[in-house]
Structure 1
């Protein structure tokens, strides 16, 4: 936004939570509610649509850039109140009950008394905070709809997207995704850093799978990536040889139909002048980075058959924005290291390493197509979710949930009658209390003899230990130490034709790996390749219903050998050769097979 607009129309500038209006500057500094700002953006977009509507290069409209932030001006305050009136059907009593405002005698008697959360005002009513976050998502989407209106009118057949930012916590992308024609996102991993590249590769795979799942498995777009380094991360380490192709093709392997960059040419000045680009300040193509980009382009040229294909996983992990918002605002059990996203990633990790595709969904999605449904730390359970989980398990599905699940409803009000609330029936346990351990503390979970998953070693229990009672569930492991020694740490409950597992303790990857390997075997969950993959290598696939396209990705800097299934014959799509037996992957190497 130019400076003249800020000077002429100060209402377009954002107001912070402390009620101070911003000065002109920075990138995201506009009020989503401002009628003037909405009018001006529509004028620009209408002119763009009219000018380029018949241009042969117009394939997709990319609207705005990385929506983020919030505004607390009077326009937004009034919009928030109107949104609340609709949600609570004009009934303040319903709002007061949902927010539990009687606590500390903070009851509202008039809509005009309600404001957005403020550091110097109300910010400790959790239902209030939760609804504000929901409103911010709503208002951002409403602004987006205003922006795209002239595009829909003038170019109705051109798809529209806006670039999401992975697991950015400021917006609920499950609410945003239905409004775009194709999901796109910006991926900027910090490769070659403090954790092994294959561990980071699994984390990025998790986010790719979210973006594929946001539209029910449809291909997405990798809207932004860097050919080399960024300018805003703590250390701008260059991608090592091979990593640019590997990380680009990883997006394709998980469902992207594009690989795109920010930026084409480095800016000469301002904040992103040192951000990676296809063309460096030298101004020519004789650079290592340009050659890496050209290599990606040549690779993509050979993958036309992959475009439009997808995958149908047998496993789903629930990652839910509203659940995260409520949990991180809860003021309970731990002030630090609640680690919801990390926990979800750890439950995902084993499947990525084993080459097993996974959908990453929210709790409102359809569960019926999966063999295994995993809901780590499902603190919030919205209406109808528990009933659908019961139906899923009763029909033969396997459900896994953990400590700190089934605690609150959609308003962040605690369930009464015992935790895990509406999940108590399907899990067959009652959680009496939960022990939060100091970072230096450790307990252990000890498997019982002859347990169904063949777990046979002690596992560390750290940070959170749920003290549960088995009701209809069978105990698979117990705590070793402290006053709850001998109490259940892992249970399974037979429910209809399926099973529900409850993991009562926070563990490391070692337990989750052994636990899920047992379930993979028990449920006969299919791998992309029915072979053991070497450490650092994953296998992902896409299919058009007739052919399978298999991506072997080596996130190690060392050479790795993959033993292909016996008697299986593939076509190497890049080399156009027949492949069987063994494949040798160089460090950061890829192979793409068709069968």
Structure 2
């Protein structure tokens, strides 16, 4: 049963709408004008102090909060709130000068100079002490302030450090993982290859281009350690906030599919997930295909906490200056792309930035208030219009969706695939492959959860597992139980190859018992040139009703059916006639194996048949034109359906005889629903 989640902070049960506000960059006479403009833009929440450490602590131990006091008071007096940041993302120069140990060391063992952002060692006791001290001072000062709504911890955590402090911390992490037993580590990393066996813990160093860069077990554990060290640094940051403001939620802004951090693991430690969204609209040749990719990431952020609404912490109201083609959003796209986040579970729409910086790296980055300084701009009007819409959407706050479908996207599996010496170097494309399996559902308006290997899966009808090269402990067992108890599994080529230490399974792939579930043996995999193609030919009379033929490329698993029924075969090469698609009955469920990387027509046909067979939950019982999707949020009684047209031309959706109420106009909606270019409608059923 779907139930409504509480608001991000119950003190404000509405959509947050606002942006990164940097009053420390501007003279105070501008602040009053900011307050006037915020009201006109229908903004109610500002992220404050993200990179303000040098202003908050101009010299060691001397805090100056007087300016921030006035900003917080101004926000409260004008009916707005603060998403108040801790400033660790960019430390002041005095700190680097006095304590050089806080400067990050690169993998080539050279130490960075002071500069940019996140150029700090997360192991450094000095940096941990200094960040916790200023965070405590902030919490003590503002714990009872009426403007404080959410804590914004640091900013876009990223990077790693290879200094001596981090080397020692890494060794301690390894000792804990391997029970202080070097033999266990050597076995897990298969160090007997190339005579890499370690005989003393001090011999172990982090991966380096001037040392050991290709020992896969070492590389994988280093990434895990760096991830854990980042989380530990985060926990150090929030300790005084938890102590002094236990009822104020904490978050830190993730960066979509950024490969450096395992976000599903990190998400366990935040109260609400938030992320920064910067698509390159109007530059890829197909806005709707880009929209599907963005939808996938929104779904992934919602799924990381089991369906709990997330925060769109950053987006741009116009363009993004650091992208290769910083194109402006076309009319309608700001509203559409913002409500797209809401459709997939966001309870906020926030921007970088409120007022365009006058200088430095992002002075040409999009903003609500342009350099001209007034409200008479196209972008400001777009933002104001969206803010007015968000004020109408209180019934949507806290609602969610419980899909019938889940797709695996696992960070550690991604790390291992990117590091392995197999399948060539330029076309592994793990995340793109996962998104290709998501696209057929987006086209049909079928909600999807995007989950990591550790997630529970018993609640789904259909679980899709593309390229799950690495099987961590318990994963095969959960998959086995899922199918045995009646679930439908789809697994692809290059799955079940190695264990959590990147050691190959012996006895035939897919390993760890999945061979029996799938009813196949994957003997070997062919990698062909980028120009070559093969054919996937459905077997006449196959039980899914697949017909015609499909194009396949890149990778081909040469499999043997061991109890599985063959639904399609390969058309060309020496493996012509061998199985390309199989299904196996296992317990009460079924397990499909897709043996090649197939074209979009195959994906649409195959998953379309499964969607019909399994009667999967859909947002809208209607055929959707190309480039149009429908997404669903619900509180268990009311259904809120977001119908979105990502085409530069109008589109029409036939709603049939069903009647809905528009949350945008308040009018009854039935029959043909016309959507303008980049148009959106929100229907209540």
Structure 1 length normalisation: TM-score?
Answer: 0.99
Aligned to 2:46: none
Stretch of structure 1 that moved more, 164-173 or 520-529: 520-529
Shift of 1:28: 1.5
Aligned to 2:682: 592
- Does residue 1:199 correspond to 2:289, yes or no? yes
Shift of 1:5: 1.2
Any residues of structure 2 matched to 1:77-226 within 5 Å, and which? 77-226=167-316
Helix, strand or coil at the partner of 1:256: coil
Distance between the aligned counterparts of 1:172 and 1:516, measured in 2? 29
Encode CA deviations 1:246-276: one digit per residue, 9 max, x unaligned: 0000000000000000101111111111111
- Does residue 1:306 correspond to 2:306, yes or no? no
Distance between the aligned counterparts of 1:103 and 1:295, measured in 2? 63
Shift of 1:195: 3.2
Aligned to 1:571: 661
- Does residue 1:264 correspond to 2:338, yes or no? no
Segments of structure 2 that go 5 or more residues without pairing to the other structure are 1-90
Residue 284 of structure 2 contacts residue 290 of structure 2 at CA under 8 Å; is this kept in 1? no
Encode CA deviations 1:161-195: one digit per residue, 9 max, x unaligned: 00000011000011100100000000000000123
Return the structure number with greater relative CO, CA threshold 8 A, min gap 6: 2
Encode CA deviations 1:90-145: one digit per residue, 9 max, x unaligned: 00000000000010010001111111000010111101100000001000000001
Aligned to 1:345: 435
Aligned to 2:108: 18
Distance between the aligned counterparts of 1:433 and 1:338, measured in 2? 16
- Does residue 1:358 correspond to 2:442, yes or no? no
Shift of 1:565: 3.7
Shift of 1:50: 1.3
The count of corresponding residues between Structure 1 and Structure 2 is 594
Q: Runs of 4 or more off by more than 4 Å in structure 1? A: none
Shift of 1:433: 0.5
Q: 1:390 aligns with which of 476, 480, 485?
A: 480
Aligned to 1:473: 564
Distance between the aligned counterparts of 2:186 and 2:291, measured in 1? 45
Any residues of structure 2 matched to 1:385-464 within 5 Å, and which? 385-422=475-512, 423-464=514-555
Distance between the aligned counterparts of 2:466 and 2:396, measured in 1? 32
Shift of 1:278: 0.6
Aligned to 2:650: 559
Q: Cα RMSD between the aligned structures?
A: 0.7
Helix, strand or coil at the partner of 1:569: strand
Aligned to 1:536: 627
Aligned to 2:324: 234
Shift of 1:461: 1.2
Distance between the aligned counterparts of 1:115 and 1:360, measured in 2? 35
Aligned to 2:370: 280
Q: 2:333 aligns with which of 220, 243, 258?
A: 243
Structure 2 length normalisation: TM-score?
Answer: 0.86
Residue 311 of structure 1 contacts residue 357 of structure 1 at CA under 8 Å; is this kept in 2? yes
Segments of structure 1 that go 5 or more residues without pairing to the other structure are none
Distance between the aligned counterparts of 1:153 and 1:526, measured in 2? 43
Residue 529 of structure 1 contacts residue 565 of structure 1 at CA under 8 Å; is this kept in 2? no
Distance between the aligned counterparts of 2:99 and 2:617, measured in 1? 59
Distance between the aligned counterparts of 1:216 and 1:278, measured in 2? 33
Distance between the aligned counterparts of 1:351 and 1:343, measured in 2? 14
Distance between the aligned counterparts of 2:628 and 2:549, measured in 1? 27
